[in-house]
Structure 1
Amino acid sequence: MQIYAIGDIHGHLGLLQGAHALIAADRAAYRNSASPVVHVGDLVDRGPDSAGVINYLMQGQKAGHPWHVLKGNHDRLFLTFLTDPWAHDPGLRPDLGWLHPRLGGPQTLASYGLREPGNRPVEQIHAEARAAVPQAHRDWLTALPTNLMLDAALFVHAGIRPGINLRDQTEDDLLWIRGPFLEDRRDHGALVVHGHTALPDATHYGNRLNIDSSAAYGGPLSAVVIDGRDAWLLTPKGRTPLVPQIP
């Protein structure tokens, strides 16, 4: 099975549409019309149109496209704020909150029409956000899965706790883990395809494939195609092999 995957979107609707255009061209070239597309989470924050990204993905699924969407840590932060603006995600540094400029929450709320969401009392912003964000968006985000196994690939947002069975993995690790996963060179039984840790380019490490190419920070949004443990980056000129970087 060949599987398409798209990295961390972070509110960039134009980049997401461009990634899907690359997939459409690859489908036509390789007659891959039925192959699934997996989005590895972090749909929101930092970019200008998180609301548009969510609506685009919801409508695509509703139209019957074979799209899978996973939950990222930023998606959970958004949902948590809508429920309780004072709740603190255990994966987040104690001195940071979702409305901090580093996190990008204000940009998400601005995409729903809120005025200066980072510069007014939290209680006021929370009440306006509850009114502005459609319940359908909240329900859809809440229902997003945290992992997906397809063929020889395991798709997650951040990674896995090495040596732990998939059914015993915690959501906190699947959405937030870095060091213990990124530094582990062992085979995980499947190619782990993930985002969360921003790099200049999509990078294959043999046991894992990181497809977060820093769209949140002005970089591109990577779209890849995976066949077994082999992967290619989709470009306007076609497929470029992602050769494993094994030390």
Structure 2
Amino acid sequence: MQVYAIGDIHGQLDLLQGAHDLIARDRAAYGCADAEIIHVGDLVDRGPDSPGVVRYLREGVARGENWQVLMGNHDRLLLNFIRKPDWRDPGLRAGLDYLHPLIGGRATLQNYGVDAAALEDITLARAQATALVPQDDLAFIAARPRMIGTGAHLFVHAGLRPGVPLDRQTEDDILWIRDPFLLDSRDHGPLVVHGHTALPQACHYRNRLNIDSSAAYGGPLSAVVLEGRRVWLLTPQGRVELSPL
């Protein structure tokens, strides 16, 4: 069974459409038109068109495309910034909030039409965002699964807490974890496919596959095809196999 996956998008609609074009060409070349496409989350923040990304994926899922879309930590940040005014994401370092320049939420809110001046006051920013971000977008984000298993593969946004059964993994870890997962070399059973930790290119680590290739920072958006533990990066020239490190 083959399955496609796309890394962290971060408001890069053009790159997302390009990744889907590569997948369409690969589907036609290899006769796998029905193969599922899984997006590992972080639809929003930092990039120029977060609303366009959410709408593109929301409308595709609604018309029956064989797409799955996971929730990323940035997606949860946007959702709860609007829906839970008193909530603070435990994954954020002290001193950071959704409007901090390091997070990229300002770009998303401005994409949706929030005034730049309002971004200097969190109450005004939230009020404008509540009025301007479509409820359909928020409902779509809220409904995103946190984990998808296909048998040979397990798709999550950030990773897993090593040694913890899947049914006891927390949402905070699934959306935010780094070193405890990234530094762990044990086999997890299925190949864990994730993003969240930006790299120059997608990397296969035998027990996990990181497909966040820094689209948020000017890098490419990786689209891959998986068959068992074999992984190929899709390029305009065709498939390039990613050998385990």
Residue deviations 1:191-242 (CA, integer Å, cap 9, x gap): 0000000000000000000000000000000000000011000000000000
Measured at CA, do residues 182 and 48 of structure 1 come closer, stay the same or move farther in structure 2, by a change above 3 Å? Answer: same
Note the aligned Cα RMSD (angstroms): 1.0
Partner of 1:108: 108
After superposition, the Cα gap between the structure-2 partners of 1:131 and 1:205, relative to the gap in structure 1 and judged at 3 Å, is same
Amino acid across the alignment from 1:93:
R
State the shift of 1:83 in Å: 1.7
For residue 13 of structure 2, what is the aligned residue in structure 1?
Answer: 13
Once the two structures are TM-superposed, the CA of residue 114 in structure 1 deviates from its matched residue by 1.5
Unpaired segments of 5 or more residues in structure 1? none
- Compared with structure 1, are the counterparts of its residues 126 and 203 closer, same or farther at alpha carbon in structure 2 (3 Å cutoff)? same
* Residue aligned with 2:162, SS: coil
Letter paired with 1:223: A
**What amino acid maps onto 1:227 in structure 2?**
E
1:165 paired with 2:133, answer no
Counterpart residue identity of residue 103, structure 2? L
Counterpart position of 2:34: 34
Correspondence for 1:147: 147
How far apart are 1:84 and its partner, in Å? Answer: 3.1
Aligned pairs for 1:133-144 (under 5 A) are 133-144=133-144
Identity %: 61
Runs of 4+ in 1 over 3 A off after TM superposition: none
Q: Does the 8 A contact of 1:106 with 1:118 survive in 2?
A: no
Q: Tell me, which stretches of 5 or more residues in structure 2 are unaligned?
A: none
C-alpha distance in 2 between matches for 1:53 and 1:86? 27
Alignment check: 8 A CA contact 1:99 1:118 kept: no
Structure 1 CA distance, aligned partners of 2:170 and 2:87?
19
TM-score, scaled to structure 2: 0.98
C-alpha contact (below 8 Å) 2:99/2:119 kept by paired residues? no
**Secondary structure of 2:239's aligned partner:** strand
Q: Which residue of 2 aligns with 1:176?
A: 176
Superposed counterparts of 1:195-214, under 5 Å: 195-214=195-214
TM-score, normalised on structure 1?
Answer: 0.97
